[in-house]
Amino acid sequence: MASSRLSLLLAILRRPWFWAFAASTIAFFATLTLSEGRGGGELLSAALTFASFSAIVGIGQMFVITLGPGNVDLSIPATMTLAGTLSLKFMDGQTALILPGLGNALAVGIAAGAFNYLLIRLLRIPPIIATLSASFLYQSLAIWWNRGLRIKPPEALADFATGSTGGIPNLTIIGILIAVVSWVLLERSIFGRWVSAFGQNTRAARLSGVPVEAVRAATYISSAVLASLTGYLLASFSGGAALNMGTEYLLISIAVVVIGGSSIAGGNSNVPGIWGGALLMFLVVSMLNSYGFGAGVRLIMTGAIIIAIVAAASGKGRSV
């Protein structure tokens, strides 16, 4: 019995996502020490809520990064902004247009992802340059359509975005469902095997019959769709779409992938780790704010903590 428990413990320690969740737990209790344990429920609810945004865009970024070196989606913030702006303007505060507004946001994601792929495929532009260039176009479109206005979401949608079910924030439930579907897709489907094969060796994948271009298109579209969904939810949660609403999610979407244990060299994804990384990013900032550190110190310490987590997880197994 003791040996089996030890084996189980060692198996858990080898999981890349363990270190992100362990660090998140430490940051959570370190923050609570200032309040002598009070407000734990509020802190947990806030962590789950705000981590949901990071987790959803992080999963989309993970799809792209799994394709291998050079693959990264830098258009995520602008796609979020464009989708949030267009969907809220389309709904114009009308409850009856909530679902059509969601469809509007997802359509923006499909179009943005397809455009990103076409830049990469037809013009032979490196993904980093293609998605960065496209982001300027998306941001410009958002500015043109927004025209400085902050359109509020329908009241029912705002209530849903800020509400909870059974004590769990609604946004967290959505984020977990997306994570589960993504895990099944990547770990239990032929598409997931194709994505991993693409990232491990593109030439070998092509020779073995993997439809590499269809896989690349699907991953970039998936990333943009999840970014658009996040923009729709974030605009609804925050009471309106702002032109800078997606800015912080560029680095966060990459950081949660790295912290979560996915291989930055491609060929390996880790969906549970995305949530661990998302929680850690929020809780570390909350902890440093609680201790009164200035912005400069917070950035330095956040970077140092991220490096420590990645270093601790390096050399460990990459299985889920």
Which tens digits make up the pLDDT trace of 195-235?
999 988 888 989 888 999 999 999 999 999 999 999 999 99
Crossing angle between the packed helical segments 76-91 and 249-259, to the nearest 10 degrees: 120
Residue 314: per-residue pLDDT: 56
Residue 248: per-residue pLDDT: 86
- Establish if 11 belongs to a structural domain: no
Q: How far apart are CA 149 and CA 155, in angstroms?
A: 18
- Establish if 6 belongs to a structural domain: no
Q: Tell me the two tokens of residue 163.
A: 């509400």
Q: How far apart are CA 227 and CA 238, in angstroms?
A: 16
**Inter-CA distances, 185 with 128, 196, 241, Å:** 25, 12, 31
Residue 281: per-residue pLDDT: 87
Residue 312: per-residue pLDDT: 62
- Establish if 2 belongs to a structural domain: no
Task: Please identify every stretch of the chain with a pLDDT value under 70, giving residue numbers as ranges.
Answer: 1-14, 35-39, 148-149, 295, 298, 302, 306, 309-320
- Establish if 5 belongs to a structural domain: no
Where in the sequence is the domain holding 173, given as residue range(s)? Answer: 17-313
Residue 37: per-residue pLDDT: 57
Residue 289: per-residue pLDDT: 78
Q: What are phi and psi of 245, to 5 degrees?
A: -65, -25
- Establish if 1 belongs to a structural domain: no
Q: What are phi and psi of 165, to 5 degrees?
A: -130, 120
pLDDT digits 0-9 by tens, 86-140: 999 999 889 999 999 999 999 999 999 999 999 999 888 899 999 999 999 999 9
pTM passes above 0.85: yes
Residue 165: per-residue pLDDT: 93
Q: How many domains does the chain have?
A: 1
Q: How far is CA 65 from the centre of its chain?
A: 12
- Establish if 7 belongs to a structural domain: no
Output the domain CATH number for residue 31. 1.10.3470
Q: Is 167 left (phi over 0), alpha (psi -120 to 50) or beta?
A: left
- Establish if 9 belongs to a structural domain: no
Residue 216: per-residue pLDDT: 95
- Establish if 318 belongs to a structural domain: no
Residue 317: per-residue pLDDT: 44
Q: Tell me the two tokens of residue 155.
A: 């009241």
Q: What are phi and psi of 280, to 5 degrees?
A: -65, -45
